Structure 1
């Protein structure tokens, strides 16, 4: 259900992170898929942009090492409801450009934080709506998916330890604070995790342009896991086999497939609407 997306231009960013909603979060860079996840986690990282920094400051699970902000950005953070630390360091846009790279849209604010520990499936608890990513690697897409997931009340996003995007400031900025408001779960094997989700009562719905049924008909049950495939090749065969159903989004126009983040928005809307109806 996804079109092939050009790999994003690499950024000179020191920041990458993820977090959880009401739970511990998780963090770790994934720049090289051949390395074990533990080898790719930094000791500290930078997050930038007003919404992302405000979300960090409002997350009690985050250990803030230092906050850099211009006077204007500091005022905007306060307007966002953030409580600024007493040791706030005044800075300039030029200094932040040098620190983060000229391509980073920092909006005058950056925060250095300690990484959070990863979660496993046991952290799902009574979660009803989760998103599962099968080797989706573009950080802009993952950030956009996270933002949509939080907007539609999803409880968690599940990825594998490998073949996931580098958790840089690009991803954090695209997520616009969502990384601090959803449980990020990392599993060693996606096929095994899907089997576990089914045992936990989730209806695992894979999305693919060649799915056997329309998505509207595939979404059912009280607990839903939406499974989205990688840009270009979509769901892997074993992932498809472990889903309860592989569904498609029927589109009347000349283009028959969507970018994975756009497909996520539509599927999250349908799943949220179904779950709301099921509880009324």
Structure 2
């Protein structure tokens, strides 16, 4: 798989998943030295140069920041991986469940927020999600190298399994009466984010223990799904160690 963007490629290099790096001619020398030093430290990584237009054509975009890499395909984690991550840290589980997030940029931005704000993983439903792609990795700015991202065949069933493990499930809904700032997010928790416009499916909504809303003050009454996820994650994690 071709990966592009500076943060995603550098993190993949550190992770040992890169076989070759392609740099655009004219990229600043300091960055070239950084790439070469890291490639040499992990060993076996070829670094070569090409005209920027070749990178444009290979990536299918001009937003590659002057670097492409041939990497192993990104692998899906499992729910067990996510729970093991929380246990290894000695923390109560915080997991983000995505119901119908099909835009790869939203998906990548949510992964990035989840990793930055201390969640233990993200889970999507197999047939209702954007795939793990170069666009997702680029938007996640390297977070896919650190945060487990898992698939489930049936999100409502997974919610039932989590609740049986003592996980409290909070669903984001713009019309919910319970405002975000008044919610007690202690203990194990899952945050459910639905698709933009449609929100969560009815069955997923019904499985949630609590529906919460983000108070809005402006004329526009809705937020981008990834922005909403970031706000929810901040509120849910800010009181934790």
- Is residue 203–residue 225 contact of structure 1 (8 Å, CA) maintained in 2? yes
Question: Hey, what does 2:188 align to over in structure 1?
Answer: 223
Matches within 5 A, 1:71-220: 72=27, 75-76=30-31, 79=34, 83-85=38-40, 86-101=45-60, 103-123=61-81, 124-125=83-84, 127=86, 128-220=93-185
The residue number in structure 1 matching 2:213 is 248
CA distance in 2, matches of 1:48, 1:82: 19
1:67 and 1:132, CA in 2 relative to 1: closer, same or farther beyond 3 A?
Answer: same
**Secondary structure class of the residue paired with 2:118:** coil
Q: Tell which deviates more after alignment, 206-215 or 248-257.
A: 248-257
The offset of 1:263, in angstroms, is: 0.6
1:50 aligns with 2:6: yes
Structure 2 Cα separation of the partners of residues 75 and 56 of structure 1: 19
Q: CA RMSD in A?
A: 2.1
Whether the 8 Å CA contact 2:9–2:69 is kept in 1: the answer is: yes
The runs of 5 or more residues in structure 2 that have no matched partner are 87-92
Alignment CA distance shift 1:81-1:99 (3 Å): closer
| CA contact 1:131–1:149 (8 Å) conserved in 2 | yes
For this pair of structures, how many residues does the alignment match?
229
Deviations 1:67-105 (CA, angstroms, capped at 9, x unpaired): 21236367426548971154212222121112122x241
- Aligned residue for 1:52, secondary structure, equals helix
**Partner residue, 2:89:** none
Structure 1 regions of 5+ residues with no counterpart? Answer: 1-44
Asked if 1:275 is matched to 2:234, the reply is no
Deviates more, 1:121-130 or 1:184-193: 121-130
Counterpart contact for 2:13–2:38, Cα < 8 Å: yes
In structure 1, what is the Cα distance between the partners aligned to 2:189 and 2:212? 13
TM-score under structure 2 normalisation? 0.87
After TM superposition, give the deviation of residue 183 of structure 1 in Å.
0.5
